[in-house]
Amino acid sequence: MIAIGGTIGTGLFLGTGKSLATGGPASMLICYIIIGVIVFLTMLSLGEMASFIPVAGSFCTFAGRFVDDAFGFALTWNYWFNDAVSTAADLVALQLVLSYWNTAMPGWGLSLIFWAVLVLANIITVKAYGELEYWLSLLKVITIIIFIFLGIAVNAGGNIDNHYIGGENWRLPGAPFVGGIGGFASVFVTASFAYGGTESIAITAGETASPHKNIPRVIKNVFWRILLFYVISILLIGLDVAYTTPGLSTKDA
């Protein structure tokens, strides 16, 4: 469940708005598929190494062991910096989303509250952390499943106008590719960020029971998670929402 939760984050819930506005529905779908294929192939390789050598350091340890100690050192600090920046980005995204319903509390106050929750979650016992991560990941999965069903219903006419949308948003002037090659390339950045966290599967190998059995099983399921949580969701967003919708990358979208 930690592996599932790790693949669903800000890039899917919030970042797709900007991607749709700058690249269009086709660019967004193609970029997410391309990055998804790269992630899946990378995870197959990483899963094989993690199953053979189940250590807590995962790919950072592998880099030092199979390439060079200096490379492993640099990768470890780069990964730490990546997580530090991603945490800050997630806290900003959180205040952006919650401020849609709550305008009384300042954004920094919302970020501070959830920063404290995040710190507490990381200093509790491993068992308690695992339980917390399980329920939060389950909430993400339920949200995505509901989103997919609602997306299908909205496209089929279950919206406030009772209007069948179909593929009309792909036929708007300028669609389905918006901004040319520049718009297409810009979506790659958001798509790459969205898939961040998938590698957490291998990081847990050192603390996983029977890693030689469990890690390969979990890695093989990454394909279906990418297909369900990203490709289908991105396809529905591109079908249901016009790229010309005002404020796609803001809280008012």
Cβ 46 vs Cβ 59: under 8 Å: yes
Average pLDDT over the chain, rounded to whole?
84
Range scoring the smallest mean pLDDT among 5-19, 184-198, 226-240: 5-19
What is the pLDDT at residue 60?
A: 86
Are 205 and 47 in contact by the 8 Å Cβ rule? The answer is no
Please state the domain count of the chain.
Answer: 1
Residue 250 has a pLDDT of: 61
The mean pLDDT of 112-138, rounded to a whole number, is: 83
- Please tell me the predicted confidence (pLDDT) of residue 140: 84
Helices 107-123 and 126-155: angle between axes, nearest 10 degrees: 130
**pLDDT value at residue 155:** 93
pTM confidence score: 0.84
Can you tell me the distance from the alpha carbon of 227 to that of 118, in angstroms, rounded to the nearest whole number? 29
Q: What is the DSSP string of 122-165?
A: HHS-HHHHHHHHHHHHHHHHHHHHHHHHHHHHHHTT-STT----
Domain range for residue 43?
A: 2-55+126-240
Whether 84 is in a domain gets the answer: no
Measured CA to CA, the distance from residue 241 to residue 222 in angstroms comes to 27
Mean pLDDT, residues 102-123: 84
| 3-state secondary structure at position 38 | helix
Q: Is residue 19 part of a domain?
A: yes
pLDDT exceeding 90 applies to what percent of the chain?
19
Is there a cis peptide before residue 25, judged by omega within 30 degrees of 0?
no
Q: Which residues are CB-neighbours of 160 under 8 A, at least 6 positions away?
A: none
The verdict on residue 110 lying in a domain is no
- Residue 239's pLDDT band, with cuts at 50, 70 and 90, is very high
pLDDT of residue 27: 92
Q: Which of 209, 228, 198, 231 is CA-nearest to residue 44?
A: 198
Q: What is the mean pLDDT of residues 235-245?
A: 91
d(CA 203, CA 79) in angstroms, rounded, equals 12
Tell whether 248 is covered by a domain. no
Does some domain include residue 118? no
pLDDT tens-digit series, residues 45-94: 888 888 888 887 778 888 888 899 999 999 999 988 988 888 888 888 88
**CB proximity list for 118: less than 8 A, separation 6 or greater:** 87
Residue 220 lies in a domain: yes
- At which residue do the structure tokens 């954004």 appear? 107
CB-count burial class (<10 Å; 0-12, 13-18, 19+) for 80:
exposed
Domain-embedded: residue 30? yes
Answer yes or no: is pLDDT of 235 > 80. yes
Fill in the amino acid letter for 19.
S
Amino acid letter, residue 198? T
Tell whether the model's pLDDT for residue 103 goes beyond 80: no
- Tens-place pLDDT, residues 4-55: 666 676 677 777 888 898 899 999 999 999 988 888 888 888 888 888 888 8
Q: Is the distance from CB of 177 to CB of 242 less than 8 angstroms?
A: no
Task: Check whether 205 has a pLDDT greater than 80.
Answer: no
Whether residue 148 is contained in a domain is answered as yes
